[in-house]
Amino acid sequence: MSKHQDHHHDGDDGPLSKLPVPDDVQDAIRTLIRWAGDDPSREGLIETPARVARAWKEYCQGYAEDPGVHLAKVFHEVGGYEEIVLLKDIPFQSHCEHHMATITGKASIAYLPRSHVVGISKLARVLHGFAQRLQIQERLTAEVAQCIWDHLKPQGVAVVIEAQHGCMTGRGVRTPGVAMITSRLMGVFLEDQSSRKEVLSLMGY
Ligand SMILES: [Zn+2]
């Protein structure tokens, strides 16, 4: 392998490219490669176990954080704004806990503030904090909603996630293009039909 290729691959390894990977973790990935039918000692696969291990550390970096911390800083001066705040179609990636296959999709997150708001990007940070773990879509949806509910104490929270599951599109029944939709509504969005209709229509549902 040329120096140039080495350098290129380092770049592909992302922010954790220097993270040491224990031997037992690399061995586990070699075992999996062998089980899949390939030879982990062939040239193209030599560096793969360390790369896969670092990639998984990155996919799962949500375990290292409490997503609620992103909601700690709130703004009380809202200029009398008492309407829905919505962050729509946030792209995300997660992994299903049943196959460790990718879940890719978009989430819409809304809340009806009581007396304070958060910086809008923080809602996406909460989503990624829970998405960067082994998940099922139903729990991801519920965890994002509950986190916002607990930390902001708003009048209502609505989370709708639409995602494709690699374990379904790439294997098994092979149904590319099929999306799964989950939702979690709390407070006024659960109890009041016109509020629910308003938030879902803002989201495009
Ligand atoms: Zn799965």
Residues with catalytic roles? 96-99, 137, 165, 167
Structure tokens at 197: 């209709």
196 CA to centre of ligand 1 in angstroms: 30
pLDDT tens for 9-41 read 545 667 788 899 999 999 999 999 999 999 999
pLDDT higher for 128 or 119? 128
Tell whether the model's pLDDT for residue 1 goes beyond 50: no
76 CA to centre of own chain: 28
* Residue 14 DSSP symbol: G
What does the domain layout of the chain look like in residue ranges? 3-59, 69-203
pLDDT tens for 60-85 read 999 999 999 999 988 887 777 779 99
Tell whether the model's pLDDT for residue 5 goes beyond 70: no
171 CA to centre of ligand 1 in angstroms: 10
Question: Which is it for strands 134-135 and 74-75: parallel, antiparallel or unpaired?
Answer: unpaired
* Numbered residues of the known binding site for Zn(2+): 96, 99, 167
Whether CATH 3.30.1130.10 fits 69-203: yes
DSSP secondary structure string for all residues of 94-159: EEETTT--EEEEEEEEEEE-SS-EE-THHHHHHHHHHHSSEE-HHHHHHHHHHHHHHHH--SEEEE
Tell whether the model's pLDDT for residue 7 goes beyond 50: no
33 CA to centre of ligand 1 in angstroms: 19
